[in-house]
Amino acid sequence: MLKGLVSVVTGSASGLGRATVERIVREGGRAVICDLPTSQGAKVAEEIGDSVIFVPTDVSSASDVENALAACKDKFGRLDVAVNCAGIGIAVKTYNHNKKLSHSFEDFMRVQTRGVIINTASVAAFDGQIGQAAYSASKGGIVGMTLPIARDLAPVGIRICTIAPGLFKTPLLMSLPEKVQNFLAKTVPFPQRLGDPDEYAMMVQAIITNPMMNGETIRVDGAIRMQP
């Protein structure tokens, strides 16, 4: 159960992030939708209802992240969970942005001496394809920092895990031709289809509600191993 918990979810105007916010609210929680000013965040917040607020946030901006946390505190008075779904395709920046976000959330949560941080990597961290060196390195950085941060934050009761999703029905993937989508779906061993964003959100919920889940990266990918 997520009842009463407050979450900040970055990249949550669409795709995996939006599905996460919707599941959090269905389970009794509240959330801050953080996404770019040009996103559909305001519309999404209106559709979901009073349990959420939208704060325009560019995760590459430290001041934007601080503003989002301040808005969370003003509206809900606390922060229990941070889910980082925002992603870009530049290796160093992706790693640094997630590190900055994690540190900002850590500082906020230390006051409560408990909390959960969930980062999003990719199966590319393990199965990088031709031409994906920078992208794979960025996702590998997220995976690599998971255990050390979990150990750093153990004394203050903050857990951290990373989810490495496979092929999901995100806006980017769904923009591909149907023939390409069908081909990609057939590369997933079982279930032989593209993942539904709510299945990512289900893993977020599982991590939040299981206190022994800490310092680990979980692949959610239908057993796919990407070909070169």
Give catalytic residue positions: 135
Burial (0-12, 13-18, 19+ Cβ within 10 Å), 143: middle
Residues 166 and 221: beta-carbon distance below 8 Å: yes
Element housing 25 (H / E): helix 15-26
Residues 88 and 97: beta-carbon distance below 8 Å: yes
CA distance linking residue 197 with residue 211, whole number of Å: 23
Strand-by-strand arrangement of the 217-220 sheet: 52-56, 30-35, 6-10, 81-84, 115-120, 158-165, 217-220
